[in-house]
Structure 1
Amino acid sequence: MIRVLVIHSAADLYGASRNLVRSVQAIIEEGMEPIVVLPFDGPLVGEITNTGATVHLLDHGVLRRKNLSPAGLLSLAKQLWHSTKTLTRLIKSENVQLVYTNSNANVVGGLLHFTTKKKHVWHIHEIIQNPRWFKFLLEKYISLTGDSVLGVSQAVLDNMQGNVPSSKLKLIYNGIDYRPFKEADYDLKREIGIPDSHILIGMIARVHFWKGQSYFLDIAKHLAERHDNIHFVMVGDAFTGYEYLYDEIKERIREHGLEGKVSDLGYRTDIPNIMGGLDIFMLPSILPDPLPTTVLEAMAAGKPVIATAHGGATEMVLDGETGFLVPWDRAEIAASKFDNLIKNAGLRHQMGLAGQARVIEHFSVDAYFKNLGQLFRDQISIERQ
């Protein structure tokens, strides 16, 4: 049995983690055995074990911005020393033939490439722009320690050009199982307690400054000034260390006079229900989002999508056909793109159907399984030569 060590940086059920489940399923579909390493316990553990894969919990030294200090780097180095030794032993005892690192935050994957001489695949979900020295060093490290470097969007690959050879770069779009979203039938308006005639506009994302919760509320302010029949929904909890943003969000709602017009539902696992209950979905990221899975999920649910015009969203949303692309720094202009959708149910339906068809054709889980499986087969074939 061919075994693949899978390394991930979280245990939540947001975009990169949900895609990890699909990657594990792709490995199993290829007749291989995944051994998954997560840094701590969380809802992702159950999702992974449900696939039949083995999960090991090990604080393997996830790279975070807080580590970019002398004390942080020392702590990270200690974690990496310990985890590298532990995982090197695991690779040898389980006869692992391939290491698959899901996210550039998992530094240990590259170290294992050196200690075990096994083939190593990086799967990059991030677009790092600053600080420039950090971007340069990390991408050079990825280049030195990866046999293949997958990007979830062309925007991700373009961002690494120059530091990672083109021969190593490969584009594989994330795929989703569109059926739960297409089939969802949930009355979210009833849960929230608003009339069915109201237009429900929502966003789903971890609470972080670049995910755009504040920008979403700035747009909501402009829309609320000229539409009475709208309500806004925010879904997601904070990254560890960013809980202070909850207070900033509450203050922004108060300053904009949006009390009673915004429902913050926090962390939810029933995302198909949330998507199915919206009328319009928005991705308000103020920095480039590599390939936001929530956009695909909204399109699969038949919802028009308004997204900021950078990152992977520009490869997903067809402007004027499946939704609209808007500025990430001009809330009033962005808000103007909602007006026709709010007023015109036919346009919402038309764009929603176009988006749904696009997901089924270009971003299906079957295509993802096929493309990722082929890459794993190629790497194992090289390993055996």
Structure 2
Amino acid sequence: MRALTVLQILPALQSGGVEQGTLEVASHLVSQGHRSLVVSAGGRMVAALEASGSTHFVYPVGRKSLLTLLLIPKLRALWRREQVDIVHVRSRFPAWVVFLAWKGMPRDQRPRLVTTVHGYYRSGWYSRIMTCGERVIVVSKTIQAYVQRAYQVDACKLRLIYRGVDTAQYSPGYSPEMAWQQNWFAEYPQTRGKRLLVLPARVTRWKGAADFVDMLSIVCQQHNDVHALLVGEVAADKQAFAASLKQKIHVAGLAGHITLTGYRQDVKQIMAMAKIVYSLSAEPEAFGRTTLEALSLGVPVIGYQHGGVAEQLAALLPEGAVPVGNVAEVAMLTLSWLSQAPTVQPNMQFSLQEMQQKTLAVYHDVIADSGQSD
């Protein structure tokens, strides 16, 4: 198979799962002898992207303005100049700009077009653009069903590729380095000698912070040696909710049993120390990368039974699935697992390597397909 030039397009490279997936695909392309290009408005992840051998172009493709349409001729010129074989777009507004640029080119001069549906979008014409690719990647069976239900997409275009984690980096038995542990306990001495229960999520209502506190109030009636960690940032528009959550914690008498750490870059190390990790989102997660990271570390996860998290639990720890919103069952299962921890199955089907290989296979597939869609 010949070497390909693949251009991925997304709004920015600041942080997040979509951005991480872009870097992972990019590094695999380079390792397999292909050219990897990325267009975005930039961000803190550009340095890592370029260090792995990709080329980055700074275009503000995510800026929601009609002026962004002025990028259309620049994108076409870039595609021609760099002889791009595949354009892979991962976000709605950039997808509109890309599609208009792509559609207006002669068929024999167009690159092939791939899109990825990373999550649930509000149904309608604006979101439908994410199904415009000649191949449409979906990140879980849940998202596949959503796309088919909301947009009646031709099943022949869809490709299910689960997000994956590097099982060499996230494997059972991993333990944080001693220096990290010393720093952690210096910063959070209240966690020393405690059994840790961890909710790795932004502090919002829909991510389950209130349910986490309610669960803890039940568990602490029987166990005084547990400490809960809510690991995630509090966005500027969620300060009022965070304040109400802290009041709830205070009223419940749990101030000594729970810590809100804010944003942390060492979530892996924190989860590796946990007895149990939780996924309590009120709405289904499209995939739930953090949950998979915990399971890959061999750490048991209790999660609401919907979305991508339900798919992961079905494969790796079926007994961890709890009906959505059933806080009492979350608490009862927590108490049970504190007495006898379950065994997590090895992560064999949600690996980074498989995600990378399947994505490259989609690129080869769309190149080999001689019929071009309108």
TM-score by length of 2: 0.85
Q: Which whole-Å CA distance do the structure 2 matches of 1:15 and 1:179 have between them?
A: 19
Q: Give 3-state SS (helix, strand or coil) of 1:299's partner.
A: helix
Q: Which whole-Å CA distance do the structure 2 matches of 1:205 and 1:307 have between them?
A: 13
Q: Give 3-state SS (helix, strand or coil) of 1:366's partner.
A: helix
Q: Does 1:136 align with 2:124?
A: yes
Q: Give 3-state SS (helix, strand or coil) of 2:355's partner.
A: helix
Q: Which runs of 5+ in 1 are unaligned?
A: 63-75, 129-133
Alignment CA distance shift 1:234-1:373 (3 Å):
same
Q: Which whole-Å CA distance do the structure 1 matches of 2:245 and 2:67 have between them?
A: 34
Corresponding position of 1:3: 5
Q: Deviations over 1:210-268 (max 9, x none)?
A: 32223322322332333211111122224575455443443343343321222222222
Q: Does 1:234 align with 2:230?
A: yes
Tell which structure's C-alpha radius of gyration is larger.
2
Kept after mapping to 2: 8 A contact 1:305/1:322: no
Alignment CA distance shift 1:362-1:281 (3 Å):
same
Q: Which whole-Å CA distance do the structure 1 matches of 2:78 and 2:237 have between them?
A: 31
Kept after mapping to 2: 8 A contact 1:15/1:294: no
Alignment CA distance shift 1:14-1:255 (3 Å):
farther
Kept after mapping to 2: 8 A contact 1:181/1:276: no
One-letter code aligned to 1:57? V
Q: Does 1:113 align with 2:106?
A: no
Q: CA deviation at 1:112?
A: 3.5
Q: CA deviation at 1:135?
A: 0.7
Q: How high is the sequence identity, in percent, across the aligned residues?
A: 23
Corresponding position of 1:45: 46
Q: Compute the RMSD of aligned alpha carbons.
A: 2.7
Corresponding position of 2:146: 159
How many residue pairs align between the two structures?
A: 356
Alignment CA distance shift 1:380-1:29 (3 Å):
farther
> Please, which of 327, 330, 333 is the counterpart of residue 329 of structure 2?
333
> Please, which of 188, 196, 201 is the counterpart of residue 205 of structure 1?
201
Q: CA deviation at 1:126?
A: 0.2
Q: Which whole-Å CA distance do the structure 2 matches of 1:266 and 1:325 have between them?
A: 27
Q: Which whole-Å CA distance do the structure 2 matches of 1:278 and 1:242 have between them?
A: 26
Kept after mapping to 1: 8 A contact 2:117/2:130: no
Corresponding position of 2:367: 380
**5 Å matches for 1:299-338?**
299-318=295-314, 321=317, 323-338=319-334
Kept after mapping to 2: 8 A contact 1:184/1:301: no
Q: CA deviation at 1:26?
A: 2.8
Q: Give 3-state SS (helix, strand or coil) of 2:62's partner.
A: coil
Q: Deviations over 1:158-200 (max 9, x none)?
A: 0111412211111111121122232332535665213654210
Corresponding position of 1:262: 258
Q: CA deviation at 1:10?
A: 4.1
Bigger Cα displacement from structure 2, 246-255 vs 296-305: 246-255
Q: CA deviation at 1:305?
A: 0.6
Q: Give 3-state SS (helix, strand or coil) of 1:9's partner.
A: coil
Q: CA deviation at 1:282?
A: 0.6
Alignment CA distance shift 1:139-1:268 (3 Å):
same
Q: Which whole-Å CA distance do the structure 2 matches of 1:83 and 1:140 have between them?
A: 21
Q: Which whole-Å CA distance do the structure 2 matches of 1:240 and 1:160 have between them?
A: 32
Corresponding position of 1:58: 59
Alignment CA distance shift 1:299-1:82 (3 Å):
same
Q: Does 1:168 align with 2:157?
A: yes
Alignment CA distance shift 1:256-1:127 (3 Å):
farther
Q: Which whole-Å CA distance do the structure 2 matches of 1:57 and 1:249 have between them?
A: 40
> Please, which of 70, 82, 88 is the counterpart of residue 70 of structure 2?
82
Q: Which runs of 5+ in 2 are unaligned?
A: none
> Please, which of 342, 351, 371 is the counterpart of residue 364 of structure 1?
351
Kept after mapping to 2: 8 A contact 1:304/1:323: no
Kept after mapping to 2: 8 A contact 1:205/1:235: yes
Q: Which whole-Å CA distance do the structure 2 matches of 1:239 and 1:148 have between them?
A: 35
Q: Deviations over 1:248-307 (max 9, x none)?
A: 443343343321222222222223212212111111111010111111110111100111
Q: Which whole-Å CA distance do the structure 2 matches of 1:257 and 1:86 have between them?
A: 59
Alignment CA distance shift 1:274-1:99 (3 Å):
same
Q: CA deviation at 1:203?
A: 1.8
TM-score by length of 1: 0.83
Q: Which whole-Å CA distance do the structure 2 matches of 1:191 and 1:302 have between them?
A: 26
